[in-house]
Amino acid sequence: MSWLSILALAVQAALGFQGASYALAATGLNLKFGYTGLSNFGHVGFLLVGAYGMAIAADNGWSIWVGFALGIGAAVVLGLLLGVPTLRLRGDYLAIVTIAAAEILRLVANARPSEPVTGGSSGITGLSGKLGFFEPNFIPSGSFGIGDLSFNSRQLWSMLWTWGAVLVATLLVRALVRSPWGRVLRAIREDEDAAKALGKNVVVFKLQSFVLGGTIGALAGAFIALDSGAVSPTRWIAPLTFAIYTVVILGGAGTIWGPIVGAVAYWFVLDVVDGVLNNLWFDVSDTTAGAVRLALMGVGLMLLMIFRPQGILGSKKEMLAGAR
């Protein structure tokens, strides 16, 4: 395998569905964490309800739009249910509550009594056929691209929808955070008491940010279900939340395009490392390679925090301002 093909595969992951779905999930987390300062460590819980909403719709023979509505509705309910009692808490307590809530959701989906609805530990499969996600695909079959960097028609269809959703979500977040509403969010991130003293109903703003961020996360979950055609509980674990945090911080927390840049960079680096490990002069088993690439990602994140803590797009001046 040549260097060129390693790079081609990495670019494929970065620009493909993986990059798109992570960018979408990170856009939701960025609103909560980057702009409002809410340490939500249960973001994966929102992805889970989005994915299961789609899967349950498929299982019951409902349409794809019902699937989106179910996922988004569930995310709003989850956001309110989780937010109303916890957003009064200080940051670190919120982190503990949200990480536990996401884990509870996963265990409930995985449990035997939930089998009729969620499929229990085996999950729900065959989504593509039931929902007909790929049926309206107008892209002719075959592969498009140069050399090793190529996408087939199904991949392009997934990418079109997911990147489209990323763009819509990003433009929505952009309009919101540049408005006076977004200014209040940033004020809450800096100092809640100051915002209160100036007449802002802090809990309501936090709740709005929490619910909208969660809804965008649920949308990412729904697309992941659509693309893979199957949903199983093993996927929605805490490390996925941490990966999305990595994307947000890598791109620059509290920046508009940071989640997109972060997601592309994340998958590019991850897959280049993967490609290199698989092509060394000695054999590295798949499991070892998987562990090593995550360890290297951790080292990379540490280096980033030391040398460029504001992320790729973040402003150093703003970062230093916060450190005072």
Q: How far apart are CA 162 and CA 219, in angstroms?
A: 9
Footprint on residues 171-210 left by another protein (CB under 8 A): 172, 175-176, 179-184, 186-187, 189-191, 193-202, 208
- How far apart are CB 321 and another protein at their closest, in Å? 4
322 is a contact residue toward another protein (CB under 8 A) = yes
CB nearer to another protein: pick between 198 and 306: 198
Kindly list the distances between the CA atom of residue 284 and the CA atoms of 66, 76, 288, 293, in Å, as whole numbers in the listed order: 45, 44, 6, 12
Residue 167 as a binder of another protein (CB under 8 A): the answer is no
**Which residue in 267, 260, 269, 262 sits closest to 247, CA to CA?**
262
| Site mask for another protein (CB under 8 A), range 2-41, x = bound | ----------------------------------------
In the complex, what is the shortest distance from the CB of residue 185 to another protein, in angstroms, rounded to a whole number?
10
Return the number of the residue (35 or 151) whose C-beta is nearest another protein.
35
Residue closer to another protein, measured from CB, 84 or 321: 321
Considering CB under 8 A, how many residues would be counted as binding another protein? Answer: 31
90 binds another protein (CB under 8 A): no
Q: Is 221 in the site for another protein (CB under 8 A)?
A: no
Q: How far is the CB of 216 from another protein (least distance, A)?
A: 14
Is residue 142 part of the contact set for another protein (CB under 8 A)? no
CB of 79 to another protein, least distance (A): 13
Query: From the CA atom positions of the chain, what is the Rg in Å?
Result: 20
Q: Considering the complex, what minimum distance in angstroms separates the CB of residue 90 from another protein?
A: 15
Residues that bind another protein (CB under 8 A): 172, 175-176, 179-184, 186-187, 189-191, 193-202, 208, 317-318, 320-322, 324
